[in-house]
Structure 1
Amino acid sequence: MLIVETIARIRREHFIKGKTIKEIARDLKVSRNTVRKVLRSGETSFEYERQVQPRPKLGRWAVELDGLLAANAAKSAREQLTLIRIFEELRGRGYDGGYDAVRRYARRWSKERGQSTAAAYVPLSFAPGEAYQFDWSHEVVLLSGTTVMVKAAHVRLCHSRMLFVRAYPRETQEMVFDAHDRAFALFKGTCTRGIYDNMKTAVETIFVGKGRLYNRRFLQMCSHYLVDPVACTPASGWEKGQVENQVGLVRERFFTPRLRFKNLDELNAWLLDKCIAYAKAHRHPELVDQTIWEVFEAERPKLVPYAGRFDGFHAVTASVSKTCLVRFDNNKYSVAASAVGRPVEVQAYADRIVIRQDGRIVAEHPRSFGRGDTVYDPWHYVPVLARKPGALRNGAPFKDWVLPAAIERIRRKLASTDDGNRQMVDILNAVLTDGLPAVEAACAEALGHGVHSADVVLNILARQREPAPPANIMTPAALTLRHAPIADCARYDNLRRTI
């Protein structure tokens, strides 16, 4: 094979040293035709490619091999056969050649097919405030020393490339609502169009073309923020390529090496700072004389003004057990005792649970994302204690109950008396009518007088509820007495004699 070093030497020997073709052929031990070819063509390299590939054994099997390769390529990645399996299939049909010939043929077949089906794309351009893109990614972090898979919500403004990232424990609809609200609050506005993939929390049915049946609650959110949602073609990630690229960028720059935080709140605060710092430090890919943050600041006036927080919750109906508990998402939450016996509506937000009955809030708790957790609010069970005061000592909702200091001191003092539970229940029931600050002040006043009886505390509360004495009325000067009246009992004595 004629290598580039030999070609270079032939050219130097002839054009610099002036040697003849015969001399060069003799010195370098190559043919004269080869030397002539190099000198006449002026090329510095030659590549030989066989025009006709003889396949004495594979030739008549080429059609069948083409069919096997095409059928295999049409399968999903998980179901595709390896080349050795295809070779074995061909051998089973009667092919008696070697594997190497099949491998070379398959490589050339793949190369030719790749050239004929190579995808080309049109670069996209967006006006300020025209569109944003949304997507999810899965990232691994350490929270309180435990390895956790979090779901990162990504929002990207298409014009300025301003990014927003927030981590959640789930990809549920209420998380989608929360991510949009926090992103739009940061941007101080939103775009007229939102570009999404066909996630189940937004799209219920995919029709031919761009037709979509969107989720009702998702459409409510878009209506609140004045956004026109657009869903991509299935398996066409390039239609929202900016946020797809953001996923890789954030994974490389933010989540590598593996992050370590105490909880999700600390992680999200750090992610928000990183998003802003990245935008201020990096140039815009198109407007290279400005940073992403500077282009974002210029885009802000073109955004649709932020409409305020959308009441983004996922609602389900649930029943209330006799122990004042409602089951939701593999966990239990307590409700007010008055809600027992009738269904309630559980409104799940990204960070809390609100439970309503006939439009009235009967419970509100921080949301738990574990399994089998029970979240109590002891005040929900205080009305039940009026009938079962003994439950105050061993009731599950009252374990580790942190009360205000004065009420807790009263509770410890009453614990040593025979009817201490009953008296404490009377004090706790007063909180439901008078409020916690008033009862705490009454307990502090009772302790200041050296007593801790429930009767004393309730008496103090009763005195506080009595109306205040009427204010002094100013008497006009014309009606003011100039001489004080003198008591005269003589008229009374005369009256008595006449009887």
Structure 2
Amino acid sequence: MLIVETIAKIRRLFREHRSIREISRELRLSRKVVRKALRSDKTAFAYKRQHQPRPQLDGHIARLDALLAEELAKPKRERLSLTRLFEGLRAEGYAGGYDAVRRYAQRWFTEHAATAAGVFVPLAFAPGEAYQFDWSHETVRLAGVTTQVKVAHIRLCHSRRFLLRAYPRETQEMVFDAHEHAFRFFGGSCRRGIYDNMRTAVSAIFVGRQRTFNRRFLQLCSHHLIEPTACNPSAGWEKGQVENQVRTARNRFFKPVLRFETLADLNHWLEEQCRLWAATAAHPVQRDRTVQAVFETEDQPALIPYRGAFDGFHEVEVVASKTCLVRYDYNRYSVAARVAGRHVQLRAYADRIAVFLNGEIVAEHRRCFGRYQTIFNAWHYLPVLARKPGALRNGEPFRDWDLPCGLAQIRERLRAHADGDRQFVAILSAVPEAGLEAVEAACIAALSARLFSADAVLNLLARGRESLPPTSVPTPAGLTLGIEPAADCARYDGLRALEAI
């Protein structure tokens, strides 16, 4: 094989009026090769075999092609390995080696797989027609701790405007919350949503396009008048815009690693960055206009107006333990003491936990995303504390109880008394009826008078309630007397006369 440098040397020497024999002797090449380089305009010569002899495999090529075509039609996870194909050919009489089968199969897959799956059709969407949704996993530092967050990507297909929002999980309530923020951000929703086959949306996958969507997810779509569409398995190109956005957003927004104190701060920053990007980025089709301009003039007028928030929760039925706790997502939350031992409905939102009994709320907490933690509300245990005041000293819910200043000082003063816990529980028992503010005011008044007993606080509380003037009840106009009755005591003298008779 003649390389480029050798051909250049031959031609330079010939231009110096060197003969073919001299060039051949100097470069140690045959005169035939020198003549070939001088007579041709090519800059390089390479030999390529036109036909590769396969004495053992040629008789089984048709069968091997059929086997490879069958494997190409299967999903990647279900395809047989080349070793298994080789063993099948050996069983049918093939006497050659594995390498010949491997080389042929690799060339065959390179040629046919590119034709079958490597070519796509560009998609176009009308204004307000569809949006695409997907998740990505990103690394950030929250409060100095390296954390992996799940980022929801919602992208309008026509204008290409998008919103990013980070969450600790990919659960269904997070999907609902991401949609609500996106629809408020865009000012409305599209007529169709394009998703992959995520479990929070799709319950069952059938042949072709047929899907069974999750019931709660269908309620979200019904609320916002959306028609959900699921892609084919392993067909990410069907929502290629949001797939490409994942890579673009990672390079643009999440490198270098972002540092924020809270997840709320991160989401606020991401929303502002999405606004700035839309205002400056050129639309990929209408290159003379920005994404924001296309959104405002074409996409936004075609959106379905925002219909208000969907109550996006994930509900499970749990049993409240005898210690007034319910368990969810590896954590425990306190509930009102009256539901201990009963079945309750726990609703998990993206940022909070709410517990209901027959439609009545019995507990509400800020959601915790750690593990094996217990979140208490000490007021849930007040009825139990009234029966067992000794639990105030060592009860776990009361260990770091954040009480108002007056109540906290009264509690400290009563610690020295033998029945201090019982007295303080008596003061706390007045809170459900009188209200926390009234009890706190009575505690402050008792402290100013240097009175620290429960009797003094309850007495001051009662005085404050008695001093309030009774509320006047207005008399309806129809019940007003036209003639006021006159008091005439002389009429009773007539009754005395009758008694004398």
Bin for the TM-score computed over the shorter chain: 0.7 to 0.9
For residues 241 and 48 of structure 2, what CA distance do their matches in structure 1 show?
42
Secondary structure of the 1:333 match is strand
Whole-Å separation in 1 of the counterparts to 2:212 and 2:88 = 45
Q: Deviations over 1:31-58 (max 9, x none)?
A: 687368636xxx6666654322223455
How many aligned positions are there?
464
Partner of residue 184, structure 2: 185
Corresponding residue number in structure 1 for 2:240: 241
Segment drifting more, 285-294 vs 138-147: 138-147
- SS of 2:403's partner is coil
Mapped pair 1:303 → 2:303: yes
Q: Which residue pairs with 2:494 in the alignment?
A: none
User: Residue 32 and residue 335 in structure 1: after superposition, are their counterparts in 2 closer, same or farther (change >3 A)?
Assistant: closer
- Give the conservation status (yes or no) of the 8 Å contact 1:134–1:155: yes
How many angstroms apart in 1 are the aligned matches of 2:400 and 2:374? 14
1:285 matched residue in structure 2:
284
**Unaligned segments of structure 1, at least 5 residues:** 472-499
What letter matches 2:377 in structure 1? D
| Contact residue 25 and residue 35 of structure 1 kept, 8 A | no
SS in 2 for 1:362: strand
Amino acid aligned to 2:104: Y
Query: Which residue number corresponds to residue 425 of structure 1?
Result: 425
Q: Is structure 2 residue 162 aligned with structure 1 residue 163?
A: yes
Q: One-letter code of the match for 1:138?
A: H
Is residue 10–residue 23 contact of structure 2 (8 Å, CA) maintained in 1?
A: no
Q: How much does 1:398 deviate? A: 0.2
> How much does 1:407 deviate?
1.1
Change (3 A) 1:288 1:425: same
In the superposition, relative to structure 1, how do residues 238 and 399 fare at CA in structure 2: closer, same or farther (>3 Å)?
same
- Structure 1 distance, partners of 2:57, 2:271, is 61
Residue in structure 2 matched with residue 444 of structure 1 by the alignment: 444
Give the counterpart letter for 2:457 in structure 1. Answer: V
Q: 2:493 matched to which residue of 1?
A: none
Instruction: After TM superposition, give the deviation of residue 133 of structure 1 in Å.
Output: 0.6
Q: Name the aligned partner's letter for residue 252 of structure 1.
A: N
Q: How does 1:42-53 map to 2 (within 5 A)?
A: 48-53=47-52
- In structure 2, do the counterparts of structure 1 residues 346 and 227 end up closer, same or farther at CA, with 3 Å as the change threshold? same
Secondary structure at the aligned position of 2:362 is classed as: strand
Contact 2:385 2:391 in 1 (8 A): yes
Matched residue of 1:386: which SS?
Answer: helix
Structure 1 residues 31, 190: CA separation in 2 closer, same or farther (over 3 Å shift)?
same
Cα distance in 1 for residues equivalent to 2:97 and 2:321: 74
One-letter code aligned to 2:185 = L
Please list the CA deviations of residues 152-210 of structure 1 after superposition, one character each: whole Å capped at 9, or x if unmatched.
21111111111111122221111110110111111121111111112121122233333
Distance in 2 (alpha carbons) for counterparts of 1:112 and 1:416? 88
Aligned: 1:382 with 2:416: no
8 Å contact 2:132–2:241 — kept in the other structure? yes
Q: Contact 1:25–1:31 at 8 Å: present in 2 too?
A: no
**How far apart are the structure 2 equivalents of 1:221 and 1:74?**
36
Match of 2:250 in 1: 251
The alignment's TM-score, normalised by the length of structure 1, stands at 0.82
Q: Percent identity?
A: 57
Equivalent residues in 2 for 1:202-241, closer than 5 Å: 202-241=201-240
What one-letter code is carried by the residue in structure 1 that aligns with 2:251? E
Cα distance between partner residues in 1 of 2:226 and 2:63: 53
Maintained 8 Å contact 1:24/1:35: no
Question: Does residue 193 of structure 2 align to residue 194 of structure 1?
Answer: yes
User: Which residue pairs with 2:394 in the alignment?
Assistant: 394
The answer to whether the 8 A contact 2:11-2:38 is kept is no
Q: Give the structure 2 partner of residue 487 of structure 1.
A: none
1:427-450 Cα deviation digits (max 9, x unpaired): 111111111111111111121222
Cross-structure match for 2:498: none
Cross-structure match for 2:485: none
Contact 2:129 2:190 in 1 (8 A): yes
* CA shift for structure 1 position 88: 8.8
**Which runs of structure 2 are paired with 1:21-100 in the superposition (5 Å)?**
29-30=31-32, 34=36, 38=40, 48-56=47-55, 58-60=57-59, 62=61, 66=65, 95=95, 99=99
Please give the root-mean-square deviation of Cα atoms over the aligned residues, in Å: 3.4
* TM-score between the two structures when normalised by the length of structure 2: 0.81
Conserved in 2, the CA contact under 8 Å of 1:347 and 1:354? yes
SS of match in other structure, 1:363: strand
Q: Closer, same or farther in 2 for the Cα pair 1:363/1:126, shift >3 Å? A: same
Contact 1:280 1:291 in 2 (8 A): yes
- Structure 1: distance between partners of 2:35 and 2:102: 36
AA partner of residue 105 (structure 1)? Y
- The 1:91–1:213 alpha-carbon spacing in structure 2 relative to 1, beyond 3 Å, is closer
The structural deviation recorded for 1:355 is: 0.4
SS class of match (1:136): strand
3-state DSSP of counterpart to 2:140: strand
CA distance in 2, matches of 1:470, 1:95: 108
Contact 1:423 1:453 in 2 (8 A): yes
Q: Is the 8 A contact 2:151 2:165 kept in 1?
A: yes
- Which deviates more, 373-382 or 327-336? 327-336
Are the aligned partners of 1:316 and 1:345 in contact in 2 as well (CA < 8 Å)? yes
Larger displacement relative to structure 2 (68-77 or 356-365): 68-77
- 3-state SS of the aligned residue for 2:40? helix
- In structure 2, do the counterparts of structure 1 residues 279 and 311 end up closer, same or farther at CA, with 3 Å as the change threshold? same
State the SS of the aligned residue for 2:286.
Answer: coil
Which whole-Å CA distance do the structure 2 matches of 1:260 and 1:68 have between them? 53
Check whether the contact 2:13–2:23 (CA below 8 A) recurs between aligned residues: no
Displacement after TM superposition at 1:63 (Å)? 5.4
